[in-house]
Structure 1
Amino acid sequence: MNKLLSAHKALGVVFLCLLLLGVWLTYATFTKKFASYERITLTTSNIGLQLPIRADVKVRGVIVGEVLEASAGDERGAELTLGIYPDKIDDIPANVTGSIVPKTLFGEKYVSLVVPETGPSGTIQAGAVIDRTEVATELEEVLSDIYPLLRTVRPADLNATLTALSTALEGRGEQLGSNLETVDSYLKRINPEIPALLEDLRLTAQVSDTYADILPEVAQILDDTVKTTGTIEEKEAALTATLRDIRSFSDTARSFLDANEANLREAGELSTRTLAVVARYSPIFPCMSAGIVKAQGRLAEAFRGYELHIVLETLIDQPRAYTPADAPKFGEDRGPDCLGLPDIPYSQDNPYPPLPKINDGMNGSTEKGNLRPAPSAAYQGTPDDVTALRGALEAEYGAGADINVVLAGPAVAAGSGR
């Protein structure tokens, strides 16, 4: 009897175990504990409400997997672990994007993998990460945003506004449609110009920066303009008199120009060649002016005390006389030449060399145009000779015979062989 009871108990325990095993197998089968998946990760800013674990994953409306896990990601985002059926993963392109959308208006959500029209080829691989995700706007969020508006807008006022709007639009549907078509045509023509408009806005920002830099100067100019305007207002009488004088001068100038129109035109025509020559030789004007400035010291020394202080020596051999063949002519055409100006290194000890032959009509040299330096920087003879000559000349011509000494000195020196 005891053995039979023990056997029944053992059978009862086995039955209970088989019953529990069947229940667990049913649960495991329902929860797909024995299913195998290829795992990929989907990152999103948020997953919203009503996205449960085991939610469907679809591609073009076909279920290809399930949501296995949801966890918090970096930077306040979320990460979804998607389990893709092994026989479906080869049908999913590598460039899909994720979208979390509801099945119905108030129903639970699912993950939709959106296949773009163009993009790189190839299929997605296990362990891939999809980081391009869109989350549909939830009805709760819309209602939450509309609720403050509904509390602010009073129903009576809203009804009056809608009634007025309905009355205004009544019978104007055709006109409104025509206006919308016109606006649409405008927008079609404007859309191609949007890039240029954006570029203009970018350049406008640069120009604005430039204006910002110069605004202080503009403000200073405006302030100076105000001061100038005030000064003009104070000097209004003087300015009026000046303008009146200018008008009188203009009348006089007009009369003068009318009377001398032909003369002025002729003067301009006659001065053309002269000005051309002046323009050609203009390069020597700076060196000539600088030479004159540097010569001021020597000239001041020579004419100090309102007297000419020089050593004058007369030369015995005089230049030849002019002949009819020496008639002057304008044949020189060598162009501008400073001839050493403004820094001339020549002196009594370093005489100036003979000037170059100038084509001025001279038939041979007359020695008139050459600077013939004296043999030395001192007087010819001794101071005693000058004193003796002055005494002899004073006896003949009287006192004050310095000029006689100058004129007679060379002849006396030549006669004495000095």
Structure 2
Amino acid sequence: MSTGRKNHYKKPPLIRAGVALTAGLTAAILFCTLSFHGDLKRTVPITVVADRSGLVMEDGAKVKLNGVVIGHVRNVSQADGRARLNLDIDAPRFALLSADTSAEIKATTAFGSKYVALQTSSNTKHRLQAGAQVRSTNVTTEVNTVFENLESVMQHVDPAKLNSALSAVADGMRGRGQQLGDTLAKTDATLARLHPAMPQLQSDLHNAATVTNIYADVAPQLLDMLGYASTTADSVVARQAQLTSILQAAVTFGNEGAGLTNDLEHGLVDSMRLLVPTAGLLAKYSPELTCLLHQSVDTRDAQLKSFGGNTGYSADLDIGFLGGADPYRYPQNLPKVAAEGGPGGQPGCYPMITRQMYPAPVLVTDTGANITDSTAPRIGSPYFADYLFGNILGGPAPR
């Protein structure tokens, strides 16, 4: 009987290992690529609008806030003659941007690439919204643009004359570096303050051109007006003697008037001072004076109806009995000048008396005798018999 050993050797899974290794490497490369491009971050889009973006502003350029990178440029496009930079801002740092955020396109070095620098305020009430447009205040000038402009200038400049001019400038500036630096710093500050007002300045220049065109259109009328003014001036010159006489007469009248007012100065001042109490009294009782005039007109109309008759040739009379007034008593009825107030406590006017207001209201004043001190019916005093027979019927007659 023969015996044999069992073989435990297995063929390694090379194909599956290769596929797994390839998939892993592919996933790692894809992850690194996405991470490098920032596609794995949560971002918030905004747009920066500028007159131009510069020659070295590329996709993926950095976006900084106070020197710290907070996003990148997704792409650069052009619309309506302006550059539009679409930015992706890191979502955790987007809350740092206020609604009045502005942008500047700057370069890292003279020949380096550009980046977007954002400026924001400390206003925490109004935040920048996603998808908002931010205005760019300036774009750094490229060095190649400067070189191109300089080259075009140098083509028209004589080197010998340029050397002489530069030598003269160098001699003049020698030893004045500090002053030149201060001047350049002040100039830079002035231009920085002037730059935000450039749109308004451009608008003013455009409006100035419109105004100039309007004046150009009305220039013939203005020239005609100047011609008329010349005719008027000739007329004035021709009548110079009469104009001189009028002016001299006016001066003489002014001098005489000044002399008169100077002589009467104290009298006028005293008159005005003495008139103040009278004017104040009239102002106080002006409602009562107005009432007197109105009531006079109403009384006149009523009297004309009574005494003028219905036809104008007759008189209407109304006869009736009236209650007698109390006799004069001394010293209670001595006259006084102590009346104060009026309707409502101030000088004024009572309303028109009508039959619905009968008996008519009477203003009680402290003036001595009062003919309306009683409205109740009673026997007259002194009695009629006392007038005829004295005190025969009893009691002394009142004095």
TM interval, shorter chain, is 0.3 to 0.5
Q: Which has the higher helix share?
A: 1
- Asked which structure has the greater CA Rg, the reply is 1
TM-score by length of 2: 0.42
